[in-house]
Each structure stands twice: as structure tokens, then as C-alpha cells.
Structure 1
Amino acid sequence: MNERPQRSPWLFIPTLYFIEGLPYILINSVSIYMFKSFGVSNQVVGLTSIIMLPWVLKMLWSPVVDMYSSKRSWAVCCQLVLGCCFFGVVFAVHLPIFLLSVVAILIGAAFVSATHDIAADGYYMLALDKTKQAFFVGIRSTAYRIAMLAGGLIATFAGILEQKTANIPLSWSIAYGVMAVILVLAFFFHRWYLPVAEARRGTSNERLPFAEAFKSYFQQEKIVAILLFILLYRLGEAVLARMAIPFLLDPVANGGLGFSTAQTSLMRDVFGLSGLIVGGILAGWLIARFGLKKCIWPMALALNLPNVGYLYLAWAQPGLSVVYPIVVIEQFGYGVGFTAFMVFLMYIAKGPYKTSHYAISTGFMALGLMLPSMASGVLQNLLGYVHFFLLVLILTIPGFILLLFIPLEDKTK
């Protein structure tokens, strides 16, 4: 009589991964629009990619999440703290030392968000059996992308407020305040709804020394090829991603396309991400049906080939009617290729430390994104946009080569 009612994964998986994605997009993408609105240069925008550092380092404290309390408790508490961090941004945008203050708060939020990622991904593996994990990978990826869509909408909202009020700090203060309220509401909802999927304390196997989690990860077969693949699979995309928004915003005279914040965010982070969501759903269905081994090559092509479109845009500098389909196609391809990548990371997470293994993999993934992103602003400034996007295409080659060496078996279905 006192048992908790059955909780449907059709509700708690999408909401959990929506909240996992929302801080990431606010910290790493929406902030770019904000920095550009405040007149921050492309070189500095690139360097602010240091904000991604917590996602690189999260492997160092992932065993703590494995060993103490429960994944559910970690996830729920992180959501409340994240809400408080974004309330901090609401006030920091009005300070004279705006850039330093906001970056410091976002780095703190990134540490909490990275911890939430560890807990949510571990909870996913504990709350669902293997069949449901494979089935819901497309759903969770879609929920994560819907969070990015929400981030795009809030950037569009901030851009409209900029035009209406002519007050940039107020516009971004309101935008981040709305997101802070959503995270606090998510805390209350998940505290009530998430089912208990594990004991509050780990089993004896989970409480082995921290070193065992890392040792077992690096003892995997073909670990060198795996690590290089994780670091380089998205190399071209990593260099492009940080400069795509500045390219759309920068004046035509500077090689950009000269769109407003509202136009750019609506194009890339609303319509573009809609294409990304469709790509993620399609990729999850195809992998579940045919297996990763058969899908990963065409999905890697889908990730990288659409980048040719940005080279054309930089050369021709066309209008909105041409830019929209190119941006949507590029994002659709990214959704396909990224879903295949995440399934591979889940596949190599094995044994009693699978939560830690997955966190280690995503840490290296973040490193492979952060370092190229930090260099992207300097490269763009040196090369100009046309040659910069040509470099992006060249940098996709290592990922294709490494596909020949990573372990792939039919059981990745």
C-alpha cells in the first residue's frame, strides 16, 4: 500500500535529459550571443571556451558520484545549485567587470553541470535495462536537443529585447533569469517524480579504490585508438562550432553575414536545431535496427560533409533564403553523427564502473572540443572566414581514418 506508484521513463528520461542539456547550452552557446552583444572579440570568445574545462576534468570526481549517496540525489541537488548559479548571472551582467564576473560564474556552473551529467548518465544506466537503454538513446538525445532549442529561443528572446529596450544588460538579465526559474522548478519536479533506481550507498564492488575505475578503463583493448577517436572524431566540427555564431553575426565587411542576434539564434538554434533533433531521432532508430558497425561510416559522413556549406557561405555571402537551408542541413548531419558517437561511448562503458568509464570518455570528448574551440578565434582572425572553413574541412580527415581502428562489433545494436 505504501509503495511508490510506477514512474514512466517516457516522462522522466526526457525531462532529466532536457535539464542535462539546458545548462550546457546556456554556458557554452547562449553565452556566445551574450558576449558578442557586449562587443567581445572573436579571439576572446574563442578563449572563453575554457568554460568547458569542468567537462574535461569530471572524470577525476566521477568515482565520488559512483561511491557516495545515489545518482538520483546527486542529479536533483545539482539542479537546484545550477538555478542559483544562473540567478548569479542575472546580477553579474550589470557589473563593471562584466566579462570576468560572468565567466567565473559560468565556470562554477559548468562544474555543477558536469557533475549532473555524471549522475544523470549513471542513473540512466541503472534505471533502464539494456533493451530500454538502446531504445531510449534517441529519446534522450532528442530531449537534450530540445533543451538546446530552448536555449536558442531564449537567445532569440534576448535579441528581441535588445532591439526593443536598447538595454543589453537588462535583456540578458531577464533571459538568464527565466532559465534559472526553470531549473529550480525542475529540482522540485525530479525530487518528487524520479524513481529510486539504486541503494543510497554503493555495493562493495562500487566502493573499490578510485584507481580501479581509471585502471580498468585504460586497460581496454585498442585503448589508444579509442582515445584518439574520442579526441579527433569531431575535430572539424569543434573548430567550426565556436565561430559559427560569430560568423553569422559579424558584419559583411569583416567577412561575416551581418545578421542580428535574433535572426541568428532563430536560424541556427531554433530552425537549425530542429533539423538536429530529427537527425538524432533518425540515427537512434537506425542504430537500434542495424547496429553501430553498419551505421557509423555513413553517420560520420553526415556529420562532416555539410561543413562544405559554411565554406560556400563565407565565399558567396548570400541572403537568408540560402543560409537557412545550409544551416539546417549542417545541424541535421550533426545530429546524426553525434548520436552515433554517443552510442559508441556507451558501448565502451563496461563493468562495475560503467558510470565512471562513461564520464572518462565524455571528459576526453570535452577536451577534444575545448582545445580546438579555444584556438578557433585566433585561427579565424589569422585566416579570415573563407580559409578558416577550408581548414575545418581538412580537420575532418583524422576522424575518418580512426574509424578503421576502433573496436566495433555487431552487438552494438
Structure 2
Amino acid sequence: MASKYLLLGMLYFVQGMPYGLQSGLLPIYLRTVGLSFTSISLTKALYFPWILKVFWAPFVDQCWNKQTWLLLSMCGLAVACLTCASLSPGENCKALATVLILMNLMASTQDIAVDGMAVRLLNQDEVGYGNTIQVVGYKLGSVLAGGGFLAVIHLIGWRSLFLLLASMYCLVMVYTWHATELQTRPSCRSDREKLQHRSLNPCDLLQELLIVPGTTWTLIFVINYKLGEQGAMSMFPLFLLDNGFSPQELGVWNGMVAMGFSIAGSTLGGVLISRKGPPLSLLKVSLILRLASLCFQALVLFLFSSKSSIIKVAAIFSIILQHFMAGIISTLTFSIMMHCTQRAVESIQATHYSFLATAEVLGKLVCSTLVGGLVDAVGFAPSYLLFLMLSGLTIIHVMKAPVIGN
């Protein structure tokens, strides 16, 4: 069991690094060189492979094995990092954007393989801890590549940063190559079952995914649950940057300390699932608490003054509180998704989970892409009122969950 968790943790860790680079380091860097909120938000469009991954998820399900896909995707990520090391971000924006798209393509393919492997490796009693490792490992990778590198990039430089990342991918590739969990676990799918699902056209496959019990409710939830939270977490650090906080301060408080609390929240979420039972009842309480923390952050924004030490401390505390609640909710959400996917036949489980995960990314991406334009157009205060409303709608949806949502 320990080796199973270690393998999942390492794979999710390296999978989170591209996200950390683009969500933690890149927006602050671009704002320091004078780009508008709208332009910064539009860089989120580079995540589009995560939305499209459901189209190649069936190939990951049916062709080769999960170990092969993991090795190929991490090799692609290592090559992308080496390419980034040779680029100058201020002079080769188009080339950098192309490489970042490649990184997202490789990371999303790795995600399909890892999620499919996790669904099969984890039994019902292990889902809580398994999803804790998933969320925590991903966030640790994001913290290292985002907040950690933002805090030290002026010391180690752009080139050394990406050479280090490439080395880390190579080390995890070696570990994955020798992982006994991937080499010895037999497949229980019959040749007839494989042939049946391989011949499905997209419409038939979509129907197969939607008839899995609880899929429709889960799909709507994962699209919506991040909307208000994502808008606040994307814009509040940039608000602080415009009001006296330095990039280094944000790298420490938003990129490292707050993410540490996010990891603590994710860990707590896994422990609660393992000890308290079905995640849905825990999710209802957590969403209400998140709405309260978002109200507190909105109040800080309305009263913010860069000359007030108390308000600055409150701003940092609001970031920490938001990340902590986001960590709890993320683990609960992914556990609900995995419980839902485990009801599907094994030959489409990776595709089913990718289908749900794609909806989750779509919700985050749409919000984070459009929120900059919203803030530029109407300002922070009206935008936060919208964030509060979206978070409230998510609570209403969860309160109306069917029994199968547990």
C-alpha cells in the first residue's frame, strides 16, 4: 500500500508543476512588465489541451498500457522544459506560448493515465487517502514550480529553473519504469469488452459515460464548484500587487504559505472522508464555510488600505483561509468523482474520470479566462459580488444532490 501511494504521489507531484508555472509564476511576471488584467487572463487559454483531453482519453484507455503513456508524457514534459531553458521569456513570447501548450498537452495526457491507474489501484477504503495524495502531490508540485520558483527566480535564473525541472521529470521516469504496481497488475478486461468499447463512435461513447449512475449531477457540480472561488483566487493577488505588495511577497504568501495551508486542507479532507464517511455531507458544510471566507475576503478588499498594517494582515489571512477551504473542497470533490467513476465498467473508467475532470478544468478555465476582462470593465467590487453569487449557487446545487451523489 505504501509503494502504491508513493507512486501516485510522485506522479501527481510532477504533473502539478506545469500548472504552478502558469498559474503562480507567469501572471505575476507578466503584471510586473505592464500587461493588463485582460491580457493576463487570456494566457489561461494555453490550458485548452486540458479541455480537449477527453477526446484522446479513449486511446489512453485502449491502446498500450498506462506505464507506456506515463513514460511518453513525462519524456515530452522533459523535452518541453529543456526547450524553455533555451528561450528568453521577454523576447520569444510566441515560442514560449507554443512550448507551454505542449507542456499542457503532455501533462493532460499524463493525467488521464494516472487517474485511470488510480481508479483501478484504489479500493473503496483507500479512496479518501488516495485522493488526498492526488491533491496534495499536485499542489506540492504547483507550489514548487509557482510560488517557490517565483521567490528565487531572481537568484537561480530562468535557464537553471527549467533544467532543474527537466531533471526531476527524468528521475520520476526512471522510478515509473521500475514500478511493480504498473508491471504486475493484470487487466481483468476481456477481449470482447475491449473490442466493444474500441468500436464506439463519439456519440455512443458519450452515452456510455452519461448512463453511469450519478454522472449528470457530478458533471454539473464540477463545472460550477470552482467558479466563484477561482475568480477570487485569480484576481486578489493581482489586486494586492497593484496596491503595494511586491512579487516576492506574493510569491511567499500566496505561492508558498497559502498553498501550504491548501495542502493542509486537502489532507484534512482525506482524513475526514476516511473517518466520517460519505464526502457529500462533508461537502455541504465545507461549501458554506468557503462562502463565509469569501465574504471575509470581499470585506477586506472593500476596506483595503496599503497604509494599514491590520488590513494587510487581514488580506494575507484571507488568502490563507481561501486556500485552506479550497484544499478541503478539492479532496472531497475528487473523491466524489472517483466514487462515481468506479461505477463505470473498467474499460471506460479512465475516459469517464477524464470526462469529469475535463468539466472541472472547463469551469476553472472559463472563469479565469474571462475574469480579467470583467475586472477591467467593472472593477473589483462588483466582480466580487458575482463571485459570491456563484458560490451560493453551488451550495444550492449540492443541497439538491441525489442519493447517488454519496
- Hey, what's the Cα distance between the residues in 2 that align with 1:328 and 1:356? 34
Residue in 1 aligned with 2:302?
A: 315
Q: Is the 8 A contact 2:265 2:325 kept in 1?
A: yes
Residue 129 (1) aligns with residue 126 (2): no
Q: Residues 404 and 126 from structure 1, CA distance in 2 versus in 1: closer, same or farther, beyond 3 angstroms? A: same
SS where residue 93 of structure 1 aligns? coil
How many Å separate the matches in 1 of 2:280 and 2:37? Answer: 39
Aligned to 1:164: none
Equivalence for 2:280: 293
Q: Which amino acid aligns with 1:356?
A: T
CA distance in 1, matches of 2:31, 2:81: 19
Q: How does 1:10-159 map to 2 (within 5 A)?
A: 10-94=5-89, 96=91, 98-151=92-145, 152-158=147-153
Return the alpha-carbon distance in structure 2 between the equivalents of residues 194 and 29 of structure 1: 34
**2:247 aligned to which of 242, 250, 261:** 261
Q: What is aligned with 2:219? A: 227
Q: Deviations over 1:339-371 (max 9, x none)?
A: 111111112212221111100001111111111
- The code of the aligned residue for 2:229 comes to E
Q: Are 2:278 and 1:249 equivalent residues in the alignment?
A: no
Deviates more, 1:28-37 or 1:273-282: 28-37
Tell me the equivalent position of 1:278.
Answer: 264
Residue among 154, 158, 169 paired with 1:183 = 169
Distance apart, 1:174 and its partner CA: 3.3
> In angstroms, what is the RMSD of aligned CA positions?
2.4
Equivalent-residue separation in structure 1 for 2:259 and 2:76 (angstroms): 27
* Aligned counterpart, 1:379: 374
Is the alpha carbon distance of 1:93 and 1:39 closer, same or farther for their aligned partners in structure 2, counting shifts above 3 Å? farther
Contact 1:245–1:264 (CA<8 Å) still a contact in 2?
yes
Query: Deviation string for 1:294-314 (max 9, x for gaps)?
Result: 211012223333122332332
User: Alpha carbons of 1:359 and 1:263: their partners in 2 closer, same or farther (altered >3 Å)?
Assistant: same
Distance in 1 between residues matched to 2:87 and 2:317, nearest whole Å:
37
2:119–2:338 CA contact under 8 A, matched in 1 = no
Write the letter of the residue equivalent to 1:47: L
Contact 1:225–1:406 under 8 Å retained in 2: yes
Provide the secondary structure at the position in 1 that maps to 2:379.
helix
Structure 2: which 5+ residue stretches go unaligned? none
- 1:280 shift after superposition: 0.6
Distance 1:408 1:24 in 2: 34
Residue pair 2:66, 2:114 contacting (<8 A) in 1 also = yes
In the other structure, the counterpart of 1:206 is 194
Identify the match of residue 232 of structure 2 among 218, 221, 240: 240
Q: Secondary structure at the match of 2:194?
A: coil
In the alignment, structure 1 segments of 5+ residues that lack a partner are: 1-5, 162-169, 253-257
**Counterparts of 1:28 and 1:106 in 2: how far apart (Å)?**
12
Report the residue type matching 1:280 in the other structure.
S
* Range moving further from structure 2, 304-313 or 290-299: 304-313
**1:279 Cα offset (Å):** 0.7
Per-residue CA deviation, residues 300-339 of structure 1 (Å, 9 max, x unaligned), is 2233331223323322325443332221111101101111
Change (3 A) 1:105 1:203: farther
Q: 2:361 — aligned with what?
A: 366
State the distance in 2 between where 1:139 and 1:222 align. Answer: 24
Contact in 2 for aligned 1:58/1:115 (Cα 8 Å):
yes
Report sequence identity in percent.
20
State the SS of the aligned residue for 1:403: helix
Supply the AA of the counterpart residue of 2:366. Answer: L
Report how many residues are paired: 390
Instruction: State the distance in 2 between where 1:146 and 1:381 align.
Output: 32
Alignment correspondent of 2:398: 403
Match for 1:106: what amino acid?
Answer: L
Q: Which amino acid aligns with 1:342?
A: F
1:332 aligns with 2:332: no
Q: Matches of 2:235 and 2:180 in 1, distance apart?
A: 38
